[in-house]
Structure 1
């Protein structure tokens, strides 16, 4: 992957993660991207309608996130250039901590979705990935857009970003993780410890 980026002449570390995400998808079709999101949304809707306590819903959401999202790409993108300096053990620990953090942070929003659901509406090819468009319908609120950006660049179809009301999960978390790392003065192990409790 590094040599591929190098061949294309992208030398700015700030754009490296975006370059990886934006390189051409292999043979992913609109139908395959939509099928992935249909399954993810179906699983999410089941959790919303389950009546489980929030702690159980968060655990279920983490499983869904792990299954359908490209967690490694999202996690490394959120960390930015510092991801390149991680040891293999740090990388595993950071990715696991990031996954749990995302599950807690976004899983807590399930309370807002109880009695509502997410509906997949369509899909379109955007440059090198596919955008699957969905709508969240919550009780007492106006519907809002939830779009999944899907690629098979990592070897299997996964969503690498979630756009909620126009806000990118990946980019907003990059700002959050960057701020957390700054508070730790660049200490990756300190960041990992914080992520295990955050969300």
Structure 2
């Protein structure tokens, strides 16, 4: 009788461990999906702010149509990625990188031009865009950390047994462009635009 009791207790411990490990996998996977969605939400918020930013700085940067074209293209890409590939973290990161590249010249001109900084709506929009970019970076960092934890569970003993049993596979990592190169600004782009106040 005592042998049977020991076997039942061992079976119960194994089953509880299986359930606990399975639930950890499910929780991490759910948190990863939430992080991906948060990246998409923040990118969409940035994209929604771009038309207002373009309108508020157009008068100060009339000759910078190439910058506005890049911003518009980045906005279109974000909207397309969020609507069609919202669960693809690499597509979201690529869209974010393109937006940061398009924003670099505007940031440089804004930071070097006190007249432009004095325009209330423009300053507020730049603050909101900066805040949203920070939230996007935080969501990306969270995604990277959660993916690392999840991937460790997939490959480490004994949780890899549960991963094999329930087909939990490694999460693809994010390939992030060199942001310094992506957001670098040429000397011409840092020149203050000719401001004409009518």
TM over 0.5: no
**Higher alpha-carbon Rg:** 2
Q: Give TM class, smaller chain.
A: under 0.3
TM-score normalised over the length of structure 1: 0.26
TM-score normalised over the length of structure 2: 0.26
Between structures 1 and 2, the one with greater strand share: 1
